[in-house]
Amino acid sequence: MLTVEHLAKSYGAKRAVVDVSLSVARGEVVGLLGPNGAGKSTTVACICGLVAADSGTVLIDGQPIRGDDSPVKRRIGLVPQDISLFEDFGARANLELFGALYGIRGTLLDERVDAALELVGLADRAKDKPSSYSGGMKRRLNIAAALVHDPDLLILDEPTVGIDPQSRNAIFDNLEALAARGKAIVYTTHYMEEAERLADRIVIVDHGRVVAADTPAQLKRSLGNTGVVTFEVGGEVDTTDLLQQPGVTRAEQHDDVLTLAIADLGASLPHVVTWLAARGHAVRRIASSQANLEDVFLSLTGRQLRD
Ligand X SMILES: Nc1ncnc2c1ncn2[C@@H]1O[C@H](COP(=O)(O)OP(=O)(O)O)[C@@H](O)[C@H]1O
Binding site for ligand X (CB under 6 A): 11, 14, 16, 34, 36-42
Of 14 and 221, nearer to ligand X (C-beta) is 14
41 part of the interface to Mg ion, by CB under 5 A: yes
Q: For residue 226, give the amino acid letter.
A: T
Question: Which CB atom, from 46 or from 262, has the smaller least distance to ligand X?
Answer: 46
**Should residue 249 be labelled a site residue for Mg ion when binding is judged by CB under 5 A?**
no
Q: How far is the CB of 301 from Mg ion (least distance, A)?
A: 18
Looking at the Cβ atoms of 115 and 211, the one nearer to ligand X is 211
**At its nearest, how many Å lie between Mg ion and the CB of residue 38?**
8
Nearest approach in angstroms of CB 50 to Mg ion is 13
Closer to ligand X by Cβ: residue 37 or 121:
37
Contact partner at residue 14 from Mg ion, ligand X, none, CB < 5 to 8 Å by partner kind: ligand X
37, interface contact from ligand X, Mg ion, none, CB < 5-8 Å by kind: ligand X
Nearer of residues 94 and 160 to Mg ion, judged by Cβ: 160
Nearest distance, CB of residue 103 and ligand X, angstroms: 30
The number of angstroms, rounded, from the C-alpha of 273 to the middle of its chain's C-alpha atoms is 36
* Element (DSSP H or E) covering residue 228: strand 227-233
For residue 273, give the amino acid letter.
Answer: V
Q: For ligand X, which is the closer residue by CB, 40 or 75?
A: 40
Q: What span, in angstroms and rounded, lies between the C-alpha atoms of 143 and 156?
A: 8
The answer to whether residues 134 and 141 touch, using CB atoms and an 8 Å cutoff, is no
Number of helices (H) and strands (E) in the chain: give both, helices first: 10, 13
Sheet holding 55-60, edge to edge: 55-60, 2-11, 14-24, 209-214, 201-206, 29-33, 184-189, 153-157, 76-79
The minimum distance between CB 44 and ligand X, in angstroms, equals 8
Q: Is the dihedral of CA 280, 285, 290, 292 positive or negative?
A: negative
Q: How far apart are CA 250 and CA 117, in angstroms?
A: 44
Q: Print the binding letters for residues 69-108 with Mg ion: x by CB under 5 A, - otherwise.
A: ------------x---------------------------
Q: What share of the chain is helix, strand, coil (3-state, %, to 5)?
A: 35, 30, 35
| CA 35 to centroid of chain Cα atoms | 10
Please say which residue, 129 or 209, places its beta carbon nearer to ligand X: 209
Q: How many residues bind Mg ion (CB under 5 A)?
A: 3
Give the separation between CA 44 and CA 143, rounded to whole angstroms. 15
What count of other Cβ atoms lies within 10 Å of the Cβ of residue 255? 8
Q: What's the closest the beta carbon of residue 84 comes to Mg ion, in angstroms? A: 14
> In angstroms, what is the minimal distance from the CB of 51 to ligand X?
8
Residues that bind Mg ion in the complex, under the rule CB under 5 A: 40-41, 81
